[in-house]
Structure 1
Amino acid sequence: MSVLLATLFFITAALYASVGFGGGSTYNALLVLYGVDYRVLPTIALVCNILVVAGGSWRFASAGHLNFKKLLPFVATSIPLAWLGGRIPISETIFIGALGFSLLAAGLHLSFGQKNSPIEATKPSSPYIGALVGGSIGFLSGLVGIGGGIFLAPVLYFLRWGRPKEIAGACSLFILVNSISGLTGQVTKLNDLGTLTLVSQYWALFPAVLIGGQIGSRFANYRLKNATIKHLTAILILYVSIRLILRWVNLVF
């Protein structure tokens, strides 16, 4: 267990928590680059996700920024499909490719996406659209061990689903429930493969992200601009996504 890896997980948790996300995709990427058995990566990343976003979800709910009834169509399909995605064994090539391109999309979204400007008026979205979007993101989340909030956020902004804090709260809860559901599928799969014990070797990563997530969630209370945090997070994501895509190209060709 490397001190450097734990430090990188701490930094990742702090950056992601500061913008309302869990960091699952980047945890996975760091573990791939570190040479960890790819079969256990989603389990480690999803546990880290849960530790980071659980506190954030509670704070959003306490502040009145979390409307579960409104989010229900999205999570009703994402929860079972995240479990299904977590149960499906995939090859290392598919895993690294899916993860690399997911990270690239996430990095581009943070770099050029919604600037969190106020939404003048919200409008109700179709529950059928919510179910389709939630299910699609949930399946991908369970498959590669991410929470999916980085993909849900731009969709909610496009749909004018709510105000920025409401969308941040929705993404936080979405990440939490998908991570729990995906984790149950991943653990069942690892039990079937007899590799679950490998996860315990990386226990030090869990307190690292717990502390980092608590620090990151409080960044907004200081003078560090949200845009600055987003740019730093985007640089980290884009760097590791390019590393993963290059590794995927080598595996394919």
Structure 2
Amino acid sequence: MDPLSLLLILVLGALIGLALGALGGGGSILTIPILVYILRLDTHTAVTASLVIVGMNALFGMVLHYRAGHVRIKKSLLFGAYGLVASYIGARLSSLLPGPVLLMLFGLLMLVIALMMLRPKKPIQEGRQQSWWMTLLGGLGVGFLTGFLGVGGGFLLVPALVLFLGMTMQDAVGSSLLVIAINSVAGLLGHLNSGPLPWLEIIIFAAAGLIGLLAGTSLTKKIPAQRLSQLFAAFVLVLAIVVLSINIPAVLHYFS
């Protein structure tokens, strides 16, 4: 690994942890492009490595939020349990698709996430409990997304936990990290046949993310989450355009 790549991994890994700590999600959407285009990993290996990195960072971040009293363990375990099987199935389906197709789908997901984060948000009614089947569908959807594309799904989890389980926004940010960790483990089990992993790079990446998590958790007390979300979304939007511009031609060539 050359010094420039190492520096980029440290900076971008910290940025991912920062987003996870401050927003309860979103940062993991950057992991796959970094692993593929900077570390030059095979797409399927990158998805597997992403699940390890995202799961480790989410677990550490959950501990920080739990110490602050903002993790609802029982509700989080319930929501995460719904997504366990879906995450495993998503991982198995992911291994059947060609790398360019996965990256194109990933770029589309990044585009959708960025636009969702940039849109003015309507106030979410806290403390409102939804029916069990809506909670089930929410858990299944987030779990499948985690296993299929190797992302935590925190950008969906935070509003889902507020709407479906009646959590406050602060509790939803912390609790989402526990759900992400659960789904990451299930998704990882579905990717065990993807080959050996670059553990040195994963450890460096995860360590940088832990530093970012500490900073992100502190930022929630100083900078409005809406402002952080907008800045991060702008960065994701640019990266989505780059990923799509590379992989749409590759997919067209693959199927031609």
For the superposition of Structure 1 and Structure 2, which TM-score range results when normalised by the shorter chain? 0.7 to 0.9
Q: Percent identity?
A: 25
Q: Is the 8 A contact 2:158 2:176 kept in 1?
A: yes
Residue 94 of structure 1 aligns with which residue? 101
Amino acid at match of 1:96: L
Deviation of the 1:78 alpha carbon: 0.5
Q: Shift of the alpha carbon at 1:216?
A: 1.7
What SS does the aligned partner of 1:204 have? helix
- Per-residue CA deviations over 1:125-182 (Å, capped at 9, x if unaligned) read 1111111221122112101111112122334455583321122233222212111221
Question: 1:20 corresponds to which residue?
Answer: 24
Question: Considering only aligned residues, what root-mean-square deviation do their CA atoms show, in Å?
Answer: 2.4
**Cα–Cα, structure 1 residues 197 and 70, in superposed 2: closer, same or farther, change >3 Å?**
closer
Cα deviation, residue 118, structure 1: 6.9
**Number of matched pairs:** 245
Structure 2: give runs of 5+ residues left out of the alignment.
none
Change (3 A) 1:247 1:94: same
Which residue among 171, 175, 186 is the counterpart of 1:170?
A: 175
Mapping 1:73-112, distance limit 5 Å: 73-88=78-93, 89=95, 90-112=97-119
Further displaced range: 38-47 or 200-209: 200-209
Aligned equivalents of 1:205 and 1:70: distance in 2? 30
Aligned residue runs from structure 1 range 44-123, under 5 A: 44-88=49-93, 89=95, 90-112=97-119, 114=121, 117=123, 119=125, 122-123=127-128
Tell me the CA shift for residue 209 of structure 1: 1.4
**8 A contact 1:113–1:154 mirrored in 2:** no
Once the two structures are overlaid, the 10-residue window that deviates more, 45-54 or 234-243, is 45-54
Secondary structure of the residue that 1:97 maps to in structure 2? helix
In 1, Cα distance between equivalents of 2:163 and 2:212: 30
- Normalising by structure 1, what TM-score? 0.85
Unpaired runs of at least 5, structure 1:
none
Deviation at residue 202 of structure 1 after TM alignment: 4.7
- Kept after mapping to 2: 8 A contact 1:84/1:185: yes
Q: 1:200 to 1:60 in 2, by over 3 A?
A: closer
Query: Retained in 2: the 8 A contact 1:53–1:176?
Result: yes
Q: Using the alignment, how far apart are the partners of 2:218 and 2:108 within structure 1?
A: 30
Q: Which moved more, 1:124-133 or 1:162-171?
A: 162-171
TM-fit CA distance, 1:73: 4.5
Contact 1:103–1:237 (Cα < 8 Å) also in 2: yes
Say if 1:24 and 1:146, in contact at 8 Å, map to a contact too.
yes
Do the aligned partners of residues 231 and 22 (structure 1) sit closer, same or farther apart at CA in structure 2, a change above 3 Å counting?
Answer: closer
Q: CA contact under 8 A between 1:49 and 1:179: conserved in structure 2?
A: yes
- Secondary structure of 1:217's partner? helix
Contact conserved, 1:40 with 1:199, CA < 8 A, in 2? no
Offset from partner CA, 1:39-95 (integer Å, 9 cap, x none)? 211122222212322232123334443333334553222112212222331211321
- Confirm whether residue 5 of structure 1 aligns to residue 8 of structure 2: yes
Aligned residue in 2 for 1:142: 147
Say which SS state the counterpart of residue 179 (structure 2) adopts.
Answer: helix
SS in 1 for 2:223: coil
Aligned amino acid, residue 50 of structure 1: G
TM-score, length-normalised on structure 2? 0.84
Residue 198 of structure 1, CA deviation? 4.0
CA–CA distance in structure 2, aligned partners of residues 205 and 160 of structure 1: 32
Deviation at 1:238, TM superposition (A): 1.0
1:212 deviates by 1.8
Please give the alpha-carbon distance, in whole angstroms, between the structure 2 residues aligned to 1:71 and 1:208.
26
- The aligned amino acid for 1:110 is M
3-state SS, counterpart of residue 220 of structure 2: helix
